[in-house]
Structure 1
């Protein structure tokens, strides 16, 4: 882009690009064109009914997103219209080399903001050729939980707050930070404006619009406490949809940061020391919680969550022990707590929920790199399907002062 601007101002300058991949050619005396961008932006809709479907899946680490493209003969409106596909699982850490075929099952469709037109992004989950979900397929179990009649009847809503950190390419240091040095202490950066306080707004805004275009239920964004850190929120989403939307939003963010030459990290504590970590707070409610008397239902849910604290923590993201220290607006990873308007608790209940006697709870324990299928499925399972013993329930109620 800078090369194009320079050429427009200085016609005698050679046609050079700011990157080795760009091919500029003189179009007229007062302008240039980028041949690559013309092709990338080419609308093929008037010339063919065929579309490009980008099949997206989660790789072997459980946090990496992979994708590849295929041509579909005509526009589609539902995943069932798409064929299954396969990929080399030995190259993603999901299958041995001598039996490497993994099958992709299309599960959710989004509009493709990069290619436009009728082209689509396809969220898939992964199976063996015999039809068994592979170990890294966390969507399958979540879908089973959300299809349970009791869970369906409670219409579980989720609002997920995805925090992330932008890093400078090649130096593994946050965007906007002096290389090898530190900015001023936290305080001025949260929801801030200004070149000395906000780093990466163009990426956040581009991602926001891309999500809206794609059909992701994104509800907002903001700059976070640590400089170079941002957040976007998705929801309210019902059931399995929450995980599909977060994974697609993460994919879009990876693509946008790729184009910007910035590295995205979902590490829950990217910088050691007196800096906030990155979480993925998950707001949750059921039909009973949203109706009159819902606060008592919320308290019962909190009781159940307290009794399965270790199970949840073990599934809430790698490296979360570096973030959940009891400092920087977190609870200790080793203990369970809840409170009204207290961001230092495991579970926070909002003032409005307390006042209205109904509403939702916020699980503040999930790390930024959590799997949304796992977290949303666990919340529904623990609060709707799992029943503690009467003795455990009584002891937990006494300890947490739930008065249930």
Structure 2
């Protein structure tokens, strides 16, 4: 496998090609979540508003055969429904040029509905059987591309099966319905994503070969050689998120050497899951450029070493104003009977992490306390002092799906739809 030095040289080489003129085309990289909770991606070229599905016999106002077919596949009653929301794109096209000209839309104007539904081989990602392998990518969020630069875009997409229903791995669809139903509560989320860098032998990066580093203590928020590694990767990821408009709010080195954290939020409703998944994708891509791996496993190293979670900070508009503590306490009372149900949604192998040690509560019971990181739920001391604010659910594992985490929080507190 290539060394970091070789990869750096290759990056310098590819940069000269990235500066070439794209002749009016936009490179759109579609990103989705696969069957094991990893991101996948593939790229295509689009040209402004003409990205709407068209085929033989297309004319303005008439759905193409491709649009009609796509509408039926994705459960829309008509092709007009499939193309709903694209009127603004057509209007911009009519104003700025013809479908045959070089007109393109600036990436900041792109909306998911401007972009075509695409597909991939679901049998290669364990998302569909081989005899019916097409899985459809339905755009749901668009971001400026920090790797290829303007005017190129990153497209987060939902997975839909050929029978017009959400794919078994599509947890966004139901989450979005819950967020819409309870939008009046203005739910805010902030997720703290912990992760560990690995070398090519799947050991934490920077650990001595065949041995272990000094015990935990100097590494958390550490500064200096011997305390932290790969800060260059962390900073590059931070900048990539900022460029793309992800609401990344910070980073820090974590308790175990080679372990880091970034925070995304506050985000309202479905945007929390969207932005966290894109931030994960960006980290995987940046780490790829530097020739290192990223582990999302909640306990990457057994023994007296910290695991890693996806601590979930949560509040509603009722909790954020004077008297909000009562609403926080009411929410915790509603969460307690759903503890087992929540754990099922909070990631794989979480039992290896939630042991009651290493700043975790026990997986067996629901607990909460003020400023206590050994509980299921931590109430920040500032929140307790002011009498309003937010609480932190410390149970979710680092590999948890943010759509599942945010949805179960909402339904546990406000009820199932």
| TM-score band, normalised by shorter chain | 0.7 to 0.9
Deviation per CA, 1:317-375: give whole Å up to 9, x if none.
00100000000000000111000000000000011111111110100000000000000
Q: Indicate yes or no: 2:33 matched with 1:58.
A: yes
| Structure 1 Cα separation of the partners of residues 262 and 184 of structure 2 | 29
Q: Report the CA distance between 1:292 and its aligned residue.
A: 1.8
| Structure 1 Cα separation of the partners of residues 249 and 226 of structure 2 | 27
SS at match of 1:174: coil
SS at match of 1:289: coil
- Corresponding residue for 2:187? 156
| Structure 2 Cα separation of the partners of residues 37 and 154 of structure 1 | 46
Q: 1:218·1:234 contact (CA, 8 Å) conserved in 2?
A: yes
Q: Indicate yes or no: 2:402 matched with 1:372.
A: yes
- Corresponding residue for 1:399? none
- Corresponding residue for 2:119? 86
Name the Cα RMSD after superposition. Answer: 1.8
Deviation per CA, 1:7-31: give whole Å up to 9, x if none.
xxxxxxxxxx9539967xxxxxxxx
| Structure 2 Cα separation of the partners of residues 119 and 384 of structure 1 | 40
- Corresponding residue for 1:279? 309
- Corresponding residue for 2:130? 97
Q: 2:7·2:291 contact (CA, 8 Å) conserved in 1?
A: no
- Corresponding residue for 1:309? 339
- Corresponding residue for 1:128? 161
- Corresponding residue for 1:36? 14
Alignment counterpart, residue 238 of structure 1, candidates 252, 268, 277: 268
Q: Indicate yes or no: 2:392 matched with 1:359.
A: no
| C-alpha spacing 1:86/1:185, structure 2 compared with 1 (3 Å) | same
Q: 2:299·2:352 contact (CA, 8 Å) conserved in 1?
A: yes
| Structure 2 Cα separation of the partners of residues 292 and 239 of structure 1 | 22
- Corresponding residue for 1:214? 244
Deviation per CA, 1:73-110: give whole Å up to 9, x if none.
02352111001000000000000000000011000011
| Structure 2 Cα separation of the partners of residues 379 and 83 of structure 1 | 33
| C-alpha spacing 1:291/1:18, structure 2 compared with 1 (3 Å) | closer
Spell out the pairing of 1:167-316 with structure 2 (5 A cutoff).
167-169=198-200, 171-316=201-346
| C-alpha spacing 1:59/1:386, structure 2 compared with 1 (3 Å) | closer
What TM-score results when the alignment is normalised by the length of structure 2? 0.83
Q: Report the CA distance between 1:36 and its aligned residue.
A: 3.1
Q: 1:154·1:287 contact (CA, 8 Å) conserved in 2?
A: yes
What TM-score results when the alignment is normalised by the length of structure 1? 0.85
Aligned length: 356
- Corresponding residue for 2:178? 145
| Structure 2 Cα separation of the partners of residues 18 and 57 of structure 1 | 30
Alignment counterpart, residue 110 of structure 1, candidates 136, 139, 143: 143
Instruction: Detail structure 1 runs of 4+ shifted over 2 Å in the superposition.
Output: 17-23, 33-37
Greater alpha carbon shift after TM alignment, 350-359 vs 320-329: 350-359
